[in-house]
Structure formats: structure tokens, C-alpha cells
Amino acid sequence: MTPAAAQLLSAVESGSLSPAFAPEVNAALLLAGDGKLSVPVQVSLPGKSVKFEKDGRTSRAGVTLLLVAREADGTPVSVHQRFLTLRLDDHQYRDFEKKNLEINGRLAVPRFEPLKVQAIVELPDSKVAIGDRKLAIAAPRPLVPGVTSILLSNSIEPANGVADPSDPLRGENFQVLLSQPRFSPSDKLTAYFGILLDSAVPETSAPHLRLTYSIESSARTAKVFPVEDLSFSASQRSVRVLKQFDLTHLPAGHYRFQVSVKDPVHGGTASQQAEFDVR
């Protein structure tokens, strides 16, 4: 962090700085291609909340984003800072005010554990927006697979250029885009997550896992999908899973996507869920 960012974080932690509003924060604890843990984050706030200064025919504004990943007791384990300079002409400015400003960042984290991601946005008029997102990760248990967050997206593209092995949203032939979890019934729901094997599982045979997927509403099970058997090499300690699901016939409402991962040999079962809306 820069000294100014450290001062901003200190003011927020001491309570001497009150937020003007809470931006939307979407985040997920995922596995990158290099096997390390990473948290991609998207912060969304109304464009009209950013105050610009006129500079001739251009409107200019500077925005600072500070991301902090915290353990359950509040201890910071990772920090990311980003500064944006926005320069817009009159047409771009009018369009900007009608939309949300979406800022993306990424946190590297050292351990597989529950986290709270805090987003602090410092705006040009010295106002501060603070939002957070809890990442509910089940604590590791002996002989039980660990399941990362589930990232739900309606945007996936073919991968272009050289792969960045530290990018958790990049696969061999795809790029998942982080977005707010809102879908229409005609969308394909892309579910993306990682599975980690406990180090106590012997490497004597190829691991075999059984995956069950469902979509739940508050009142009932809305959709159940076929069980999937997943095998990988004996030396492989983790795997990333990318699946797409049809939302046809789902009425507007709030839902939970759920995955259950079972190790049939050792008996351990873990599950994870992510919430989304159909509009």
C-alpha cells in the first residue's frame, strides 16, 4: 500500500471515517492455474456518485480502490490497491452517469479458510464507500475434499493471448468474467469452482469424486442435474471445474446453486453454495 492508502485503512478501522454508502461487492475464493489461492473481486457503484472536475472539453476524476481480505477474527491477510483516472468527453460523461462504475481487482491469499473481503472506495469529493462480502468456506477436515467458492457468471469467452497462471478466472481455453450474479431465464449459468484433496489422501490410486448439482429456492428444489463422476491423476491434489446449466422455466426470484462433492472411497463429503437472482 501507499502511505495514503495505509492512512485510509487506518481511518476506516478506527471508525473515524464513516462511509457515505455501500457499493456492491462480488468476490470468490478460487484456485488459479498455478494451484495457488486467489480472490477476484468486482466492486460496483453508481456512476453518478463519482464527482468530476471539468478540464476544458474533458471531465476528469480519480478513484482509489482498496481491497482487504480478513480472517474470521478480522486480521488482514492480503491487501490490494488500485487507482483509476477517469477522463470522459461530454457524451461519455452523460452515458457514465446512467450506469454503474465496475472496478475489478485481485487478492492473493495464503490459506484455504473463510474470509471477509472489504472494499474501500475513496471518491474525488473525499467521500468513502465501504462494502464487504463474506466467503463462507468450510474449514478443512481429514479425508474430506475442500470446495472453494462457486463463481456464478453469465459471461465466458474464448481465451486469448498468453495465459497468466496466477489468474484464477483463466483456463486453458476459456476466460470467465466476474459479474454480479443476476440472470435471465434465457441465460446459461456458468458455475466455476475448485476442489482440493486433503494431503492425507494417499497417492496410491487415481482420486475419484462424485459431484451432485442442484438449484434451490426458498420453498423447494427448483432443478436437479445428473450426478457427475470426476477422476484425475494420482499425483493431482486439486482440480478446477467449469460447468454450464440451463435456467429455462425458472421464474423470477432468488435462488441458491449448490454442489456436493463426495469421495466414495474415504467417505468424506463437502458442499458449497452460491446465491443468484433470475429477473
Segment 35-58 shows an average pLDDT of 95
What sections of 70-163 are H helices per DSSP?
Answer: 90-97
What per-residue confidence (pLDDT) applies to 1?
Answer: 76
Contacts of 204 (CB under 8 A, 6+ apart): 234
Mean pLDDT of the chain: 92
Spatial CA neighbour of 270 closest among 153, 143, 152, 151: 143
What per-residue confidence (pLDDT) applies to 205?
Answer: 67
β-pairing, 208-216 vs 253-262, is antiparallel
Helix (H, G, I), strand (E, B) or coil at 140: coil
Q: Report whether pLDDT(204) > 70.
A: no
Local confidence band at 201 (pLDDT 50, 70, 90 cut-offs):
low
Local confidence band at 199 (pLDDT 50, 70, 90 cut-offs):
low
Q: Do domains 1-137 and 138-279 have the same CATH topology?
A: yes
CATH class of 138-279: mainly beta
Contacts of 226 (CB under 8 A, 6+ apart): none
Domain chopping of the chain, boundaries? 1-137, 138-279
What per-residue confidence (pLDDT) applies to 142?
Answer: 80
Rounded-to-integer distance, Cα 254 and Cα 51, Å:
34
Rounded-to-integer distance, Cα 187 and Cα 184, Å:
5
Rounded-to-integer distance, Cα 279 and Cα 87, Å:
33
Segment 183-210 shows an average pLDDT of 84
Spatial CA neighbour of 126 closest among 50, 193, 189, 72: 50
pLDDT digits (tens, 9 = 90+) for 121-164: 999 998 999 999 999 998 778 888 999 999 999 999 998 888 88
CATH class of 1-137: mainly beta
Q: Report whether pLDDT(200) > 70.
A: no
Lowest mean pLDDT across 39-48, 88-97, 159-168: 159-168
Grid cell for residue 7: 492512512
Q: Report whether pLDDT(13) > 70.
A: yes
pLDDT digits (tens, 9 = 90+) for 164-179: 899 999 988 899 999 8
DSSP category for residue 49 = G
Rounded-to-integer distance, Cα 124 and Cα 270, Å:
45
pLDDT digits (tens, 9 = 90+) for 60-82: 999 999 999 999 999 999 999 99
